[in-house]
Structure 1
């Protein structure tokens, strides 16, 4: 979602993924885009999904293995999860 909505570099995307626990090199992100973007575009085209510009964020304080964390969830107008983010601090 970030890549399509904002002008992010492959390094930026790699950093965002790293913050979410996925450690990949920016060249890997580039290869993913080259390989999967056409496939995803065809799927999107078939379903004619609308792009929603209004997002809502839900914040929840949860306990994982005895430690409290903040769980953030971005949702669109229909309630579909767009992104999640787990953090130790607010």
Structure 2
């Protein structure tokens, strides 16, 4: 309950301690933090898996490639971005390697289905209906 309250509502652990004390549960805020550290990654992974499975047939994502500077050196960032602008997958490499790009693309296709067709560069993008 502590972890779900912390995930769902923007409360501090001390505020949650007070709310739980009103319900007859007396815990230390540090206990709540330890539970959060243990269980939040499990909840986040479950939520991510559910979201991916729901979006599997939705197919509104695209692939973006960017040049980025990491520690003063140029690198390449490949991202799979959904229709809301959220990053689904990412991959960074120092070289523009064909095999790495194909591996990333296959992983993204397996997890999220085939992407929507994007208009050619220079074409005006019309509003989605």
TM-score category of the 2 structures, normalised to the smaller one = 0.3 to 0.5
Larger strand proportion, structure 1 or 2?
Answer: 1
Structure of higher CA gyration radius = 2
TM-score, length-scaled by structure 1: 0.46
TM-score, length-scaled by structure 2: 0.34
